[in-house]
Amino acid sequence: MRILVQKFGGTSLSSNEARELVIGHIQRERQRQYGLVVVVSAMGRKGDPYATDTLLSLIRRHGDSLPPKEQDMLQACGEIISAALMCSLLRAANIPAIALTGGGAGIITDSQFGRARILEIRTEAVHKALKDGNVVIVTGFQGVTEAGEMTTLGRGGSDTSATALGAALHAERVDIYTDVNGILTADPRIVKDARPLPVISYAEIGNMARQGAKVIHPRAVEIAQQARIPLRVRSTFSEDEGTLVTDTFDAARAAVRDRHVTGVAHVSGVTQITVQAQDGHTDVQLQVFQAMARHQISVDFINVNPGGAVYTVFDHDADKAVSVLQEIGYSPKAVSSCAKISVIGGGMNGVPGIMARIVEALTEQGIPILQSADSNTTIWVLVSESYMASALQALHAKFSLHE
Ligand code: ADP
Ligand code: MG
């Protein structure tokens, strides 16, 4: 049986009209004779009645009194509501369907509640339901431990459920349905003329996702890449086929090779920390990063030099990072509310002049670069968050990404 996994995000399920469109996408693929596994997120976004953030707000006012295991029980409810609702809608449309929880679909995870990792997927139940002719609806974002406790996979976890199921079931493809027409050259909320990319490589979208393009979760991309399963990212609200993620087709490879820059991505809410070596301290880098690790402060954008180190932490870790450094005798400088901007392109390796054009684009707008770094597929710059939107727009225009 040819299996297709379809994943529908929160906005795709948030209204009657949207759910009708979802039914249409399921019906269309069913007519193409696919065995369908439909992974659903919780309905809507923050503020909507059954969205994950809304469920969590029920307990926030009680501080941190609910242990992680019980928090996962609460968080898992949004997807369960979606799955049951979609099952009833499909049946009402005379499409045979059953709904399974993550555990019911055989998704076994470790017991890191709130950010569990999938260990294994036991596919018997899904295979049987498909063989019986059902559309199999699976709750995204969740699994179960060997001991039968519910777990959740962390933000964006439904994408991971979808590609992990796709890999375990040897699906022909995984389609991620969302509220934009595919993977765009930038976040359309910030860059209005961002354009959908017809094809993109796993490496490029993996990179964009890790650097803040939240259209798909990076872990989901890794799993699809390892299993060599093509992904499509497309809109629930149009018939447009969106973006194909693949390394396979020559055409795709050529398209990726021919462009130097594929897209821009951003992460906001970071603090730049500069630490200078003190007299008598010869091992500043070692001391600094060991101290960060000891206090579980995650660090990024690291530049070290003989005189010290510059790096970033999330704004919410900044006060802690500074006091930890002061305790071990340093006087760090902290610049909060920065944004890390990434210019990404599988074809930029060895092409001269990309950095020059980035500097040009930002200088023309009077945007100071606080820090930069590069690899063979990405150049990163750190700017003040107040310049984030104009920096993204300027870079997007400089590399003609709207064309
Ligand atoms: P879903 O609920 O369907 O998972 P998400 O909100 O997680 O939807 O992801 C879709 C959103 O990702 C879009 O609305 C868009 O604002 C944002 N986004 C950020 N970067 C990009 C990009 N490069 N291409 C497409 N969308 C992007
Ligand atoms: Mg998402």
Domain end marker among 253, 284, 301: 253
Q: Which ligand gives the minimal distance to the CA of 234?
A: 1
Q: What is the pLDDT of residues 79-116, one digit of tens each?
A: 999 999 999 999 999 999 999 999 999 999 999 999 99
Same-domain status, 323 and 206: no
How far away, in angstroms, is 193 Cα from ligand 1 center? 15
Same-domain status, 241 and 382: no
Cα distances (Å, whole numbers) of residue 250 to 185, 255, 314: 21, 9, 40
Question: What are the structure tokens assigned to 170, written together?
Answer: 């040897």
Indicate the SS3 state at residue 221: helix
Domain end marker among 206, 227, 253: 253
Query: For position 254, what pLDDT does the model report?
Result: 66
Same-domain status, 163 and 226: yes
- Ligand 1 site, residue 18, Cβ cutoff 6 A: no
- Ligand 1 site, residue 11, Cβ cutoff 6 A: yes
Same-domain status, 233 and 301: no
DSSP assignment letter at 403: -
Give dist(CA 350, CA 273) in Å, integer. Answer: 30
Same-domain status, 297 and 325: yes
Residue 118 lies in a domain: yes
Same-domain status, 113 and 190: yes
Same-domain status, 206 and 314: no
- Ligand 1 site, residue 214, Cβ cutoff 6 A: yes
Give the count of domains, the chain. 2
- Ligand 1 site, residue 263, Cβ cutoff 6 A: yes
Residue 41 lies in a domain: yes
Residue 322 lies in a domain: yes
Query: For position 60, what pLDDT does the model report?
Result: 85
Query: For position 252, what pLDDT does the model report?
Result: 61
Query: For position 258, what pLDDT does the model report?
Result: 72
Q: For residue 400, which amino acid is it?
A: S
Order the strands of the 142-144 sheet from edge to edge: 118-121, 107-109, 142-144, 150-152
Give dist(CA 331, CA 368) in Å, integer. Answer: 24
Cα distances (Å, whole numbers) of residue 138 to 86, 267, 376: 10, 31, 39
- Ligand 1 site, residue 189, Cβ cutoff 6 A: yes
Give dist(CA 26, CA 232) in Å, integer. Answer: 15
How far away, in angstroms, is 285 Cα from ligand 1 center? 37
Same-domain status, 192 and 305: no
Contact 306, 163 (CB under 8 A): no
Query: Domain with 131 in it: what CATH number?
Result: 3.40.1160.10
Domain end marker among 231, 253, 275: 253
- Ligand 1 site, residue 106, Cβ cutoff 6 A: no
* Longest CA span, the chain: 77
Query: For position 285, what pLDDT does the model report?
Result: 87
Q: For residue 241, which amino acid is it?
A: E
- CB burial of 252-288 (b: ≥16 within 10 Å; e: otherwise) equals beebbeebbbbbbbbbeebbbbbbebeeebeebbebb
Query: For position 257, what pLDDT does the model report?
Result: 63
How far away, in angstroms, is 44 Cα from ligand 1 center? 13
Task: Kindly compute the dihedral angle of the four CA atoms of residues 277, 278, 283, 287, in this order, to the nearest 10 degrees.
Answer: -90
Give dist(CA 322, CA 271) in Å, integer. Answer: 10
What is the residue with the minimal CA distance to atom 5 of ligand 1?
A: 215
Question: What are the structure tokens assigned to 132, written together?
Answer: 């019986």
Give dist(CA 350, CA 367) in Å, integer. Answer: 26
* Number of Cβ within a 10 Å radius of residue 127: 17
Q: Which ligand gives the minimal distance to the CA of 215?
A: 1
Same-domain status, 291 and 311: yes
* Annotated binding-site members for ATP: 7-10, 178-179, 189, 214-215
What is the residue with the minimal CA distance to atom 17 of ligand 1?
A: 215
How far away, in angstroms, is 229 Cα from ligand 1 center? 21
- Ligand 1 site, residue 62, Cβ cutoff 6 A: no
Q: What share of the chain is helix, strand, coil (3-state, %, to 5)?
A: 35, 25, 35
- Ligand 1 site, residue 166, Cβ cutoff 6 A: no
Q: Is 185 exposed, middle or buried (0-12, 13-18, 19+ CB in 10 A)?
A: buried
- Give residue 34's domain range: 3-253
Same-domain status, 367 and 279: yes
Task: Kindly compute the dihedral angle of the four CA atoms of residues 273, 278, 280, 284, in this order, to the nearest 10 degrees.
Answer: 10
User: pLDDT under 50 in the chain at which residues?
Assistant: none
Same-domain status, 249 and 329: no
* Annotated binding-site members for substrate: 52, 79
Q: Which of 354, 298, 344 is nearest to 321 (CA)?
A: 298
DSSP string computed for 297-340: ---EEEEEETTEEEEEEEHHHHHHHHHHHHHTT---EEEEEEEE
Same-domain status, 141 and 34: yes
Q: Which ligand gives the minimal distance to the CA of 233?
A: 1
DSSP string computed for 16-80: HHHHHHHHHHHHHHHHTT-EEEEEE--SSSTTSTTSHHHHHHHHHTTTT-S-HHHHHHHHTHHHH
* Annotated binding-site members: 7-10, 52, 79, 178-179, 189, 214-215
Residue 258 lies in a domain: no
Query: Domain with 303 in it: what CATH number?
Result: 3.30.2130.10
pTM: 0.94
Q: Which of 45, 74, 42, 6 is nearest to 157 (CA)?
A: 42
Give dist(CA 87, CA 363) in Å, integer. Answer: 54
Cα distances (Å, whole numbers) of residue 53 to 10, 57, 78, 133, 214: 12, 6, 10, 35, 17
Q: Are strands 371-374 and 378-384 parallel, antiparallel or unpaired?
A: antiparallel
- Ligand 1 site, residue 186, Cβ cutoff 6 A: yes
Q: Which of 102, 202, 228 is nearest to 153 (CA)?
A: 102
What is the residue with the minimal CA distance to atom 7 of ligand 1?
A: 215
Give dist(CA 329, CA 155) in Å, integer. Answer: 37
The backbone torsions φ and ψ at residue 185, rounded to the nearest 5 degrees and listed phi first, read -65, -15
What ligand 1 atom has the least distance to the C-alpha of 183? 24
